[in-house]
Structure 1
Amino acid sequence: MREAGHNVNGDSGAENASSAGGIVDADGVVVIRLDARSGGVDKVRRAVAKLLAGGRWESFGDDACLVLSELTTNALLHGDAPIEVRVRAGGAALRVEVRDGSRVLPVRPPAGGDALTGRGMVLVAAASSRWGVDPLPTGKVVWAEFRPTDTSGEDDVQVTDGGVAVRGLTGIRGVRQQTRPVSGAPSSSPGHVVRLGDVPTDLLLAAKNHVDGLVREFTLAASGAASGASVAVPERLAELLTIVTTRFAGPRMAIKRQALGAAAAGHPRTPLELVLPSSAAADAEQYLAALEEIEGYARAARLLTVESPPQHVAFRRWYIGSLVAQLRAAEHTAGQNTGLGPAATRSFEQYLLDTLDVVVVAQRTAERSARLQRVTAALAQATTPEQVAMAVVSQGAAVLGASGGVLLVPQDAGRLAVTGSIGYGDSMIAALRSERMTDRLPAMAALRTGEPVWLESRRERDLRFPALAELEPTAESMCVLPLFAGERTLGALRFTFDHPRLFDEDERAFVEALAAQTGLALERARLFAVERAARERTTLFAAATDLFTSTLETPRILEHLVGLLVPWHAARTAAVLV
């Protein structure tokens, strides 16, 4: 190989290529070797423009520069070293090639897609007369040709162990559906057939394109950081994305090729079948775990802003989980020499239905917890029984949608005290205060038995508590729960509804939790009152002690003592009356 002083174009273009870093091999092909540093694409464009200037291929110069820009960018972003650009200007066609050390083949997205990657191959197909991909033992070569007139026949699709090598006038115009599983590993690796079933083609492409976009964003960020144009990439994020880009790459690309084939053929669903070695199970798990952790960076907008949509997350969890299960089952079966076929797997739709069940239950739990948290937060601010009562009946009625609520506390002589209420008129409050422990009414029943009372309809109300029809005619359903502090019954919490209300297991659990929090709040208020009374007594005794030691005059002592005791007793009497 020699410096590009040789005139391969019949003019001084080769000398210009040499000035841009190109060399000419023994066959007269201009070769430009690149590293991962920035500026490689500009270097290739300058060399090719100078090489073709003034020669027979000058009219194709712009198209050749465009194509090589895309192919070189793909190699720098997604390929592995060594990267080599070749330009062959002799013969009936101008041929450009980009070689790199990665066996992952480029794909072209379907028309109208929203992929962030692969669009460059659309430009390559449009600008060139033919293009293709040839796997190499240590990588691949992506090439394009430019001819004065198109003389090629129809597109030809060749399936290889390493992927799909595509040749044709405009690239992948119509990739045929594969009739056999596509391998996600080199042919030398023993493999198991994995059948995942069919999935919507649009979802499959969107999910794969999303991951490609994530990898692209990271790669650009890493390149910018290496050149000093952007901030450094977090070390852990770099480790995760290295896993995503290197582990499980073959199967991912095999799945994407199947999706592209289905899209090109107009098939709305893509049957996913792969031939994979057992080792792919561990790679798949690491790949999924890395993507799950990357989501945290995406949500926090730490360099990655492409958080996965929920349907993409569900899809990858399904197919990775199913793939791993089948591979491990196949490996176990092979070890036992049973001769059984691959393990069955849930369809994607069944997985979604099962996931929906889990999500609905979790959502109900979260909603119930949020409602209880709102009431608990209000109760935490209450320091007296009256404050507790108003907090729980107002907040509880709001979250339950009750028409009325009241907190009742037993008093001497078997009567009830109303410490707080909402939605009840004066006559109803008076009726509640006049209830006796022997009355056949819901609150008294809950206090006597220590068990909740649930009334879900007017018929059930009239059957169990006939007196309610006259006492509270608008009530159609009701719940009454006793309040406890240890073994002591503190009172009852009563909510009324002016419509039929079904209290399912979750709703009953919520109301019982609400009653438990109310009982704790009442006990806490009682302890606050005890503490306040103790502080007041201590203050009174301290003041009286100071008085007794300050004088020996009996009239003066009595005068000051009355001045201390009367306000203290008056305050306590007022508190009891309230």
Structure 2
Amino acid sequence: MRDLLLAADRDDILDAAQLVVSELVTNAILHTATPIELFARVDAGGLLLEVSDGSTTPPTERDHAALAGTGRGLMLIHDLSGGWGVRELPNGKVVWARITTSQEAAAPHEDVHAPTLWELSLEPVDEALGLDVPGSTVPQGVALAPNPADVAVVLQNVPLLMHLAWHEHAETMLREYLLSRLEQDEALALTEHAVASAVMALLHEQVPSPALPGGASTFDEVTELLTSVVEPAVTLRVGQLRIPAETVAGFEVLDKLMDAAIVLAEAHELLAAPMQPELRELRRWLCGQVASQSVGAEPVPWSPPPAALPAPGTGVLAADWDRDPVDRSTKALVAADDTNRIIAVSAPALALLGYDNPGELVGQRLLALIPSRFHQGHLAGFTLHLTQGRAPLIGTAAIVPFVRADGTEADLELLVEALPTTNGRRVFVATLRPPT
């Protein structure tokens, strides 16, 4: 791309062009695992770029936060190009973009190539990936569903907030897991990642995404936020997925990759935080429903699993954080680590919550103190904080209901601080007091 633009005396669009072509080609490699062709032409309208591949799944812009681990590629293309789009092919698609300067009017995009200044074919990439079937997005050994028609999968009691948070966390983990595998078996890693990406794109398209409440800096804004994430408003009672028959096996691939990625995350070998147990079970349920219903089984509604503890060793270790200031505090303090597990509690907090000794709470999930109607909102919010820094409840006082030891609820004023540890993890310390 650099040689092309310098030869055409268009170094004014060089930076934008190099970044856009990098994003287009990378997307095709990561999400299709098929032969790729790159076409480029400099003309009076600037630079025309086209990247074709053998997948019919269109690229979709994600609405991820600025600190998210993935989801920026199409945003960059949108910002740096004078226009971009997708054109369908009989066995794939073309993603095109126009790079112009502010003084140039972008030429209309044509479906048929005009005479070119320069073309580069990346088709030999299929040999590097070891793909035996051009255009295939299913690795060898994966059995496809026999029914050529779409498979209809009915999903009941879908926790939409949890699914939204899981989806963003899962995309980050899948990308990091792919990077960890490239030196071991590049062909298989890229192919399986493309299969999982197709499944994630289908879920992004067909599972509704609830509108997340905005930031909160005042008591009233926090109150409004909390009232917007309460059951049953954040659960879809009945929904349906329409899955192409050749994509059904991809859910098995996604399930396998996510389990493997979670193992690495819990061993602190990925940058991504370990996944909350409930979100892990949500994915297993979803993939299981696709597998079972594709062969005729009846739908099984989602139901939250019993409170599960994170894997041993995934939280903040005692050596990394001194719990004594919380244990000995005259304030009502509760501390939790980034696996959502209570790791320290002061005597005044025990009294407010109706417990007799710290051993009754330390080691339990924070969910033990949260009414069930807020569980989904808490799990989603906690995950989005760890994955992209979303923090509407950090540093802002709020009055929230807590579950006491006897099962009754009590409204308490809550102020949460996020504190770093020596190993780069986080501890969350909540100050509680009766409402003023």
Q: What TM-score, normalized to structure 1? A: 0.37
The answer to which structure, 1 or 2, has the higher relative contact order (CA under 8 A, 6+ apart) is 2
Q: What TM-score, normalized to structure 2? A: 0.47
Structure number with higher helix proportion? 1
